[in-house]
A = this chain, B = another copy of it.
Amino acid sequence: MMGSTKEKIWLLSRRYGLSPLHRILLGHDGSMTVLLELIVCCEVALTTISQSVVPCPGEAAKLLGVDTGEAVNERDILIVRKGDRTPLLYARSYTPLSRLKPEFKTDLMRADIPIGRIMQKYRMEARREILDVGYLERSQQLESLLQCNAPFLWRVYNIITEGKALITIKEFFPRSLT
């Protein structure tokens, strides 16, 4: 976690009275799937909302260090409790096709597998760089997707392998998650 992100989490924590669990969800640098399973104490699953290859939008291109318009896989997903399918987290991610190894690509583009599980399967070594965090007072779209009331917390991070960003992810989760 970069110093500036840490400071921002502490600031949000004071301003909104966040709990340790909120701060962990915002700032930890491990697998989000693993973290959510530890929090809810049961298996979680991924539901793909949409997925397509698109020209990379400017903002994502800057975070990934690729040219705007380069082919990227855009994926919108929910992570839900496996049992009752309660939504826990919504995420949109961008992955440059040029950085995807064939086997990883198949798993990422075909099936409802969380990225952390794919990385575990291939014993991939990586680091996660938390780039930004925030607090969202209201969003009808997220209330509908996550089936719960605002506010929401969000974070943006890169997963870096072999010195390059493999994927950039923006995640939203309800404050009421914990």
Asked if A34 and B1 make an inter-chain contact with CB atoms under 8 angstroms apart, the answer reads yes
Which of B1, B9, B34, B125 is the one whose CB lies under 8 Å from A126? B125
**Interface size (A, Cβ < 8 Å)?**
35
Indicate if A4 sits at the interface (CB-CB under 8 A).
no
Asked if A38 and B28 make an inter-chain contact with CB atoms under 8 angstroms apart, the answer reads yes
Chain B residues within 8 Å of A37, by CB: 1, 6
Stretch at the interface among A17-25, A70-78, A85-93, A105-113: A17-25
Cα–Cα, bound, A116→B20 (Å): 20
For the complex of A and B, list the 6 residue pairs with the smallest distance between their C-beta atoms, beginning with the closest: A30-B30, A29-B30, A23-B38, A125-B125, A20-B39, A28-B30
